[in-house]
Amino acid sequence: MAAKILIVEDYSVLARMYQKKFSDDGYQVEVALDGEEGLKKVEEFKPELILLDIMMPKMSGLEMLKKIKEDPQTAGIPVILLTNVGGGQEILERGLEMGAVAYLVKTDYPPRQVVDYVRDIIESYARGVPEVEERKEEIIKREREKEEEERKKEVVERGITQADLALDLARQKMEKTMRKMEAMEKATTPREAVEAVEQEIRKAETEFEQATQQAKKAARKFEGIEEK
């Protein structure tokens, strides 16, 4: 007998599109347009897998997931989260920790690929929960690594910005000192004043060199992250 799939998705056009694709592949499919209707369908239809949107009216996907996993009669049903949440890794991780076996970003997967992905999940689940748990751990690990890389990149980019500012300030100071030196050379100036200006130039050159090295160091860090 074909597997029974429940699609809980508030965007009816997308829900019906998924329904048709799964039906064409021989699955028995029911659709619910919000979390409350979804819970009723879980009880009546008794699906073997649930595709669950996160952002929905009346009851969010995470609220519905919580209720499913709290009920001993439905806790064992594998749930795949559907989301368009960009950068919402905390929400996705929470869903996985609450018991979802995987998630799909809807904009990244056309319906045909969703069907293929769900088939893989159903087959994996049939082979045993440990394999599914391993898949969940891999997803969480991958998302945390991605988040850490983004954080490192942000830190380096901030460092480059600060280095650029320091370099610009040092350049401005050096140019100002040079103009001052040129003006003093044209005037009749005591030797002590000239030496003082020369000292300022040396100081400005040192600051400029330090700022240049800082900018180069930040750029090397940034290039290292980009290569990864």
pLDDT in tens, 61-96: 999 999 999 999 999 899 999 887 654 667 777 888
**Percent of the chain scoring above 90 in pLDDT:** 24
pLDDT of residue 195: 65
CB 207 within 8 A of CB 170: yes
Entry pTM: 0.57
- Amino acid at residue number 43: E
